[in-house]
Amino acid sequence: MGIALIWCLALILIKWITSKRRGAISYDSSDQTALYIRMLGDVRVRSRAGFETERRGSHPYIDFRIFHSNSEIEVSVSARNVRRLLSFQRYLRSSRFFRGITVPNSSNILDDDYNGQAKCMLEKVGNWNFDIFLFDRLTNGNSLVSLTFHLFNLHGLIEHFQLDTMKLRRFLVMVQEDYHSQNPYHNAVHAADVTQAMHCYLKEPKLSKSLTPWDVLLSLIAAATHDLDHPGVNQPFLIKTNHYLATLYKNTSVLENHHWRSAVGLLRESGLFAHMSLENRQLMESQIGDLILATDISQQNEYLSMFRSHLDRGDLCLENANHRHFILQMALKCADICNPCRTWELSKQWSEKVTEEFFHQGDIEKKYHLGVSPLCDRQTETIANIQIGFMTYLVEPLFGEWARFSNTRLSQTMLGHLGLNKASWKGVQREQSGSGDDVDPAFEEMDSDILPQEPRLS
């Protein structure tokens, strides 16, 4: 009789927990088309610092029904029927991992030869010519988990912060799974590439002798999560489609805010730093946000002007925690757009992937008569034109100033690759148009406040 009573109580408790965890659709604005999707299995965690994190699996769902006339939309029906199955599948996969259940798929098992090659590559993880595409293949698509875990160990962070290695791996698995593998560019491989570049910058003499373990920890987490849950479209697309994220963040650094809040949500859910004081956890969340928000390309001119001013005055003091944090922001900005500074073989692949993502957005915009965004029209744009404009207006000014700050062999190598890659794309451009002096007009039409001035290498 006692056992039966216990079972009944257990069933009631399970049903109560399930009802509490069941997602629902809520509205964070008066705009009824800005659906804030809450998925079954999501976890609501409120911050004592005053904001609510993005929750597990709540990736930016694009509901294309909002493009139709209002007469065709029944909000109650939409709210009742919307299901984000891909996100839920990712949640289930990670849940199986948490419970130690092996996924029955023999193709996911790597033999010793592949594992051995991946380990050999990690021994050279600080080399600028590190091939992240090869490493991703050798790790069966787990490049972000494998590389970031290795870097945590390499920098002594696991021991210094007394991290539970199982919690760390679980956190990294959740991060990797919340990148969208269907995105040609903004996916976990890009995040792994940025994290590897950040590691290279952390090794630079000026930084390595000044950074604290806390600085390194923030840098690696921010690099790994800087594009977390990216939907594969840009901020203007989210704004003009009345996406709930654009409303939530008031059309300001929409994606970057989402990446940051999503990262904070996973940190809390994983409990990786639960052993730290509340004050330190809140400080970590805030400073990770500062780093990720710095990757907003629309703020490029502001950060670059500050960087130039510091270099002109010669007043950067890396013993000052605020100055170190600013340099880490600039380092993450460099890591985020360093593709043109890689070898041609790697840079070309990234150029093709980001252009494919641009063109995919343009195809959607054409289909729904939204007006094609700059750089997204496959009928009028080319990879060469886009890359030359990108290098001229964004990459060269940033890396020119970085070389002023850290005039090392790595900086000169990056500028050397940048020059060669730009020349290669100009060669492609000449073959396509018969002229090598064209710069993509889409870059020239951008707001001048977004475009930095030409670099000064003195």
Which sequence positions are flagged as catalytic?
186
Cβ–Cβ < 8 Å for 295, 230: no
Enumerate the β-bridge partners of residue 198. Answer: none
207: helix, coil or strand? helix
Rg (alpha carbons) of the chain, rounded to whole number: 23
Q: Is 188 annotated as a binding residue?
A: yes
Q: Is 407 annotated as a binding residue?
A: no
Q: How far apart are CA 88 and CA 105, in angstroms?
A: 19
Enumerate the β-bridge partners of residue 27. Answer: 35
Q: Give the list of residues 6+ apart from residue 258 with CB closer than 8 angstroms, or none.
A: 54, 60, 228, 229, 245, 249
Q: Is 199 annotated as a binding residue?
A: no
Cβ–Cβ < 8 Å for 54, 175: no
Q: Is 336 annotated as a binding residue?
A: yes
87: helix, coil or strand? helix
142: helix, coil or strand? coil
C-alpha 150: how far from its chain's center?
A: 19
Q: How far apart are CA 340 and CA 422, in angstroms?
A: 8
> Which of 372, 291, 283, 373 has the alpha carbon at shortest distance from 333?
291
* Angle subtended at Cα 457 by Cα 453 and Cα 458, rounded to the nearest 5 degrees: 120
Q: How far apart are CA 416 and CA 425, in angstroms?
A: 14
Residue whose entry in the numeric block shows the structure tokens 């419970």: 99
Q: Is 251 annotated as a binding residue?
A: no
Per-residue buried b or exposed e for 200-222, using 16+ beta carbons within 10 Å of the residue's own CB? bbbebeebeeebeebbbbbbbbb
Q: Give the list of residues 6+ apart from residue 312 with CB closer than 8 angstroms, or none.
A: none
Q: Is 186 annotated as a binding residue?
A: yes
Q: Give the list of residues 6+ apart from residue 207 with CB closer than 8 angstroms, or none.
A: 201, 318, 327, 331, 406
Q: Is 447 annotated as a binding residue?
A: no
Annotated binding site for Zn(2+): 190, 226-227, 336
Annotated binding site for AMP: 186-190, 227, 336, 387
Annotated binding site: 186-190, 226-227, 336, 387
